[in-house]
Amino acid sequence: MAGLRERKKEQTKQRITAVALQLFAERGFDAVTVSEIAEAAEVAKATLFTYFPSKESLALQGVGQENLAEIVARRPTGHCPLQALRAHYETFAARQMAAMDQGEVLAQMRVIFDSPALSGAANALLYQQRRALAEVLAEEYGKAAAALMAAQIAATVLTLQESFFHLLAGGASPQEAVRALAKDTELAFALLEHGHLKHHLKGQ
Range of the domain at 103: 68-201
**168 and 88 in a common domain:** yes
* Number of domains within the chain: 2
Tell whether 183 and 121 lie within a shared domain: yes
The pLDDT assigned to 199 comes to 46
Same domain, yes or no: 89 and 144 = yes
Same domain as 182, residue 91: yes
Specify whether 21 is located in the same domain as 91: no
pLDDT per 10-residue tile (average), the chain, 204 residues: 78 91 92 94 93 91 81 89 88 68 82 89 90 94 93 91 85 84 88 65 47
Q: Are residues 91 and 19 in the same domain?
A: no
**CB-based contacts of 150-158 (< 8 A; 24+ apart in sequence):** 152/192, 152/196, 152/197, 153/68, 153/81, 153/82, 153/85, 153/192, 153/197, 154/68, 154/126, 154/129, 154/130, 156/188, 156/189, 156/191, 156/192, 157/66, 157/68, 157/85, 157/89, 158/126
Q: Assess whether 160 and 118 both reside in one domain.
A: yes
pTM: 0.77
